[in-house]
Amino acid sequence: MTEIRYRSDIAVELIDHMGGDRSIVRAARVSSGAAGTPEKDRGLLNMLARDRHGSPFESVVLQFKVECPIFVAREWFRHRVSSFNETSGRYKVLEPEFYVPKFERPLKQIGKPGAYEFEHVPYESWKRVQAHHESAAIRAWESYDRMIKNGVAREVARNVLPLSLYTSFSWTVNLRSAMNFLSLRWAHVNSTVPTFPLYEIQQGAVKVERHAQAVAPIAMEMFNKHGRVTP
């Protein structure tokens, strides 16, 4: 049987982009025809974010490659104002990579729906969780691998694989929609609207924001300045 690999990271790579802060400014100035200096451009970006004039932010487009467990991808795909292309288990034999939560991940859930809190557990408890994840992955992969080798269609064999299996997808999103994603998927200290994201998708959101900041640093600065509310 192929060696199984375990990981706990969410990989986010910026593979392409179009535009930046200047693109947003140009789009916004179309309505007035005014020219600007760097100082005026910065002030304009501040006003656009503060007063939620959002359409100019759509002038920036980002394309990412994301690697994450299936249970994270399914939440990511709920952000429908963007485009996704995912690795297909119908057309290729999947890779034996499975998610196992790291010790730092809070594992104990308390509270009620809509108001859950999560606490860390002792090392021994985490080791039991790790063992359950790994044993489930081994059993599932053995079944999948056996069916593939016996000629069972890939689209049928994949049915036995768990949500912890890693998938990969390309995500094409404009900056305005990326800001919406970040406002919901990162419980940031600057957020003025509370959000309660899945731990793992927040790890991905942190990386998305770093890339967005590199592409449009002033726009992202204003997003944070004005409470991380989507313009």
pLDDT in tens, 34-64: 667 889 999 999 999 999 999 999 999 999 9
Residue type, 75: E
- pLDDT band for 114, please (50, 70, 90 cuts): confident
- pLDDT band for 32, please (50, 70, 90 cuts): low
Q: What percent of the chain has pLDDT over 70?
A: 97
Inter-helix orientation angle 199-215/175-185, to 10°: 150
Task: Confirm if 151 and 196 have CB atoms less than 8 A apart.
Answer: no
166-172 average pLDDT score: 98
Phi and psi, residue 126, nearest 5°: -60, -40
Q: Give dist(CA 202, CA 128) in Å, integer.
A: 24
CA 59 to chain centre: 21
Of residues 80, 105, 146, 185, which has the active-site annotation?
185
- pLDDT band for 2, please (50, 70, 90 cuts): confident
200-222 average pLDDT score: 98
pLDDT in tens, 197-209: 999 999 999 999 9
The answer to whether 185 is a known catalytic residue is: yes
Span 5-100+165-225: which CATH code? 3.30.1360.170
Half-sphere exposure of 175 (CA within 13 A, CB side): 32
175-191 average pLDDT score: 97
Q: What is the pLDDT of residue 112?
A: 83
Would you list the domain boundaries of the chain? Answer: 5-100+165-225
pTM of this prediction? 0.94
Burial of 28 (0-12, 13-18, 19+ CB in 10 A): buried
